[in-house]
Chain A
């Protein structure tokens, strides 16, 4: 729980352990993808198959929630999914901590989702129609809509942070009271939880974005604000 472990400074900017881990994950992903996609073949084999499978699965999942717009949303939501899976699982590597176990990282991701909601919504329907959905059934609801926007962003950040941090902490506590190999079942739970939380973060981001996209059509109003 050394959340502000500063490794070194770049000028006045302190670089913490979470940033280094994130850079490492980024470098790993970019290098792996670059190596695999250097020589693309028309009939994929080996790692190219794996990558295409991953991308297609994510595209299908997005297509189910937001039909017809998966091409536009795939870069953002897919990046969230892939990064979160690796970031959550990084805590299992000895000597590393999950970057997502720190509130600063998850807040950053949640703010990105918050901005992306408005970005995609405005791009889809223009400024005025997008802003109009805040006063849609009745202008009295405006404060509630704004509060719900903010609180769901906060909830997104706290949920991921709390889950990852509490799992690491639980393993640590069990190690403290029990012994060397006893936390292993908890670490297995960590694997499941890491995948589930990454999935849920991405799906919630997707649902929020879908709510922004569908704001001007208001086809299914009961589904566009689940917080």
Chain B
């Protein structure tokens, strides 16, 4: 039982830390890319369409990093494959 509570503790702490870091850094990257895009937009407003398209694609790329972290965290929290060894 001690093992199980330790396992729960560590996996919860690990998951929370992972999601915190995994949201923080993509957020920084997204902020950078948005500010650069706004700079470019202010300089060349006529290129709005292509800038916005590249921005959206880039944001989707960056966002998928956070989504990877979320998927991993959900696996750790709800479907942890290592739990089977512990309960055996």
* Cβ–Cβ contact B71 & A158, under 8 A: yes
Q: Are A226 and B61 in contact (CB under 8 A)?
A: yes
A200, B57: Cβ atoms closer than 8 Å: yes
Which B residues from 47 to 88 make CB contacts under 8 A with A? 49-50, 53, 56-58, 60-61, 63-64, 67-68, 70-71, 74
Contacting B at CB under 8 A, from A178-207, are 196, 199-200, 203-204, 207
Interface of A is mostly: helix
Binary contact track B17-33/A, C-beta < 8 Å → 1, others 0: 00000000000000000
- Please, which residues of chain A bring their CB within 8 A of the CB of B64? 155, 158-159, 162
Quick check: is A138 within 8 A (CB to CB) of the other chain? no
B71 & A226 in contact (Cβ 8 Å cutoff): no
Return chain A residues, CB-CB under 8 Å to B71.
158, 161-162
CB neighbours of A141 from chain B (8 A): none
Answer whether A162 and B68 are a contact pair too, CB < 8 Å, given A200-B60, A226-B61. Answer: yes
Complex contact A204–B70 (CB within 8 A): no
**Residues of chain A lying within 8 A (CB to CB) of residue B63:** 159, 163
Residue of chain A at shortest CB distance from B64: A159
With A155-B64, A158-B64, A159-B63 as known contacts, state yes or no: A166 contacts B70, CB within 8 Å: yes
Set of chain A residues within 8 Å of B70, measured between Cβ atoms: 162, 166
A: interface residue count bin: 10 to 19
Give the chain B neighbours of A204 by CB distance below 8 A: 57, 60
Residues of chain B within 8 A of A65, CB atoms compared: 53
Interfacial residues, chain B to chain A (CB-CB below 8 A):
49-50, 53, 56-58, 60-61, 63-64, 67-68, 70-71, 74
The chain A residues found within 8 Å of chain B, CB to CB, are 64-65, 155, 158-159, 161-163, 166, 169, 196, 199-200, 203-204, 207, 226-227
Q: A158-B71, A166-B70 are in contact. List 19 more A-B contacts (CB 8 A).
A: A64-B53, A65-B53, A155-B61, A158-B68, A159-B60, A159-B67, A161-B71, A162-B64, A162-B68, A162-B71, A163-B63, A163-B67, A166-B67, A169-B74, A199-B56, A200-B56, A200-B57, A226-B58, A227-B61
